[in-house]
Structures are given as C-alpha cells and as structure tokens.
Amino acid sequence: MGSGLANRVYEKARLLRLAGGHRGTIYLVALIGIFSLSQRVPDKFVSQISYETNFNRQVNGVDDILRQLRKQKITSQSEMKVEFFFYTNAMQKAGLLSKKLMALGYQVKSRPAASGKDEIVVTGLTPKMKMSPDVVRKWAKQMCTTGYECDCDFDGWGVSLK
C-alpha cells in the first residue's frame, strides 16, 4: 500500500471511530473503501436502454443478413465461422469479455479501436456454426447479453465468403 492510500485508510478509520463505530466495523468499512478506490472501473459504457435497443436490432437483423447470404448460396445447413465485433471503454472490460468468449472456444483479440476514441475493440471468430435462423438468432442474443454483462457493446457480425 502506498503511503497516500495508507493515510486515507487511517483517516477514514479515525473518522469512523469518532462517530462511535464498532472497532471491527471500522476496519471492515475502511478496507471496503480501499478496494473501491484501488479497483475503480471506468464509467458505464453500455446503458440498459442502449443494450435493449441493440439487442432488438441485432436479433431482428439476423433474417436480413441470412437473406443476403442465401443469395451467395449459403444455406441454413451451411456451417461457417462467424466474425464478431464488440466495443468498450476499458481494457479490463475487454479482458473479461475475452475470457468468456475464449471459454466458448472462440478465437479472440482486443486492441485500441482505430476510431481514435478512447475505445477498445474486441474481435474474433467462432467455431463453425450452422447458418440457420434459429441458430444464428440464439447466438446473436447470447453475444448481446454476454457483452452487456461485461459492459461491452456487441457491434455486429459477418462471415467470410472466400
């Protein structure tokens, strides 16, 4: 602990003692204060409203994308790897999302976004999956929800036609 942090803890404990707090409680509250100061996460990136709007947009957009793929002879039985994109405002949020996606067997990378904003982009590839409406819609729902749980915005997906 740095001396500045130690001084803040001592001062918080002293003030609590003056307020008549229980000795054990003083240190517990002081320690909770330390951890909230030392592990501060940047502001919320994805609001509830923007999550709900994006969720509906992503799920409702599946049929349009699959219709375009059908024009390229991609059927509902075709299996393809899907490339995905998320954005967030902190590397630790991107790291948490990356861990969750890697646990699903996905290839994942994160890096500063090219936009020049203070954003992080998380991209990657899924294992092959069927391009049926039900499978892709379920997957899109899962990506929106997983992203939101990590305070990351699911920006979209695509497939390579090579």
Does this model's pTM top 0.85? My answer is no
- Please give the single-letter amino acid code of residue 136: V
Q: How far apart are CA 108 and CA 99, in angstroms?
A: 9
- Whether the predicted pLDDT of 32 surpasses 50: no
- Higher-pLDDT residue of 46, 42: 46
CA distances from 95 to 65, 90, 140 (A): 29, 9, 20
Q: How far apart are CA 154 and CA 151, in angstroms?
A: 10
- How confident is the prediction for the chain on average, in pLDDT? 81
Q: Which helix (H) or strand (E) holds 49?
A: helix 48-71
17-22: long-range contacts at Cβ-Cβ below 8 A with a sequence spacing of 24 or more?
A: none
Q: How confident is the model at residue 115 (pLDDT cuts 50, 70, 90)?
A: confident
Domain boundaries for CATH 3.30.70.970 within the chain? 48-158
Token representation of residue 88: 């967030």
Assess if CATH 3.40.50.300 describes domain 48-158.
Answer: no
